Amino acid sequence: MKTVLKIGTRQSKLALWQSLHVADRLKKSHPELEIELVKIVTKGDKVLDAPLAKIGGKGLFTKELERALLDGSIDIAVHSLKDLPTVLPAGLIIGAVTQRAETKDALVSEKYASLKALPFGAKVGTSSLRRRAQLLALRPDLNVVDVRGNVDTRLQKVSDGHLDALILAAAGLQRLGYEKKIKEILPYDLMLPAVGQGALAAECRAADEETLELLAALHDEKTALATAAERAFLALIGGGCQVPVGVHASLIGEKIILTALIASLDGKKAIKRKTEGAALCGKELAEKLAEEMLSAGGRDILRETGLL
């Protein structure tokens, strides 16, 4: 069994929290294990002056980490699962998916208590096409602007008055201790989350049996089943992380409930559907739902965005 494990991580405060969380969990399960964090800069971290969708939607925050895995520089890469493309490079797999935290998005604002309370024309920041589309579907009057950078940088734009509000993943805010900045957790009927939102993924080499054995202590099967269904939906849609698509799967006993949305960038066109079935058939249900939604107009909506 390995005595030293190298964890690849991005350098943002949230990425470091996530990697340290995984390291702590591993140490508790394997006290003899020595863990080294290897900080890596990704393309998504370097290019901050352009919307994510314009600099390439797939692997923006993962490719450099995956290269380090493939050349043996690191043993695992820790990702927010929502950032991980549905197709991994040959030789790599998801070795563990952690128990999911809050999956919903959150509204942050200095002056306004809710999305509904925002005034006409309020300036709302997000880097996500999915959030943009759903915001404009609810409030076409809003001025939705692209905002990049780490969580602290984005929050500062609200504090400085450059933005009336900001939409971020609630899980990230909670992990960094910023719960008090959340004014509203947006329910699923207002804002469907990104695929895999709230879960962490530990990616490793498929042939690295020792690392896979270590990662088994982190794996949460319930979260894995739900997020596998969500990822199957996105994979069949054919989009990367940056598409106006929201998906959420929840497990209740032996049943999985899957809700999905395909929307135009302006929010004027949207197809939203729900399905349910046996939890172990989640991927098949998700693929069937994706086919139905694409045939019902979703394919045309995505083609109009230029992202399909």
CA–CA dist 28, 149 (Å, integer): 33
Which single residue is written with the structure tokens 């390439």? 56
Residue 205 contacts by C-beta under 8 Å, 6 or more apart in sequence? Answer: 69, 70, 75, 91, 92, 93, 211
CA–CA dist 300, 308 (Å, integer): 9
Residues 45, 83, 164, 208: which is the catalytic one?
A: 83
Smallest Cα–Cα separation from 72: which of 208, 244, 209, 238?
Answer: 208
Kind of pairing between the strands at 4-9 and 76-80:
parallel
Residue 112 contacts by C-beta under 8 Å, 6 or more apart in sequence? Answer: 118, 119, 122, 164, 165, 183
Active site residue 49: no
Smallest Cα–Cα separation from 138: which of 182, 175, 105?
Answer: 105
CA–CA dist 149, 46 (Å, integer): 10
CA–CA dist 21, 78 (Å, integer): 10
Q: Which residues are catalytic?
A: 83
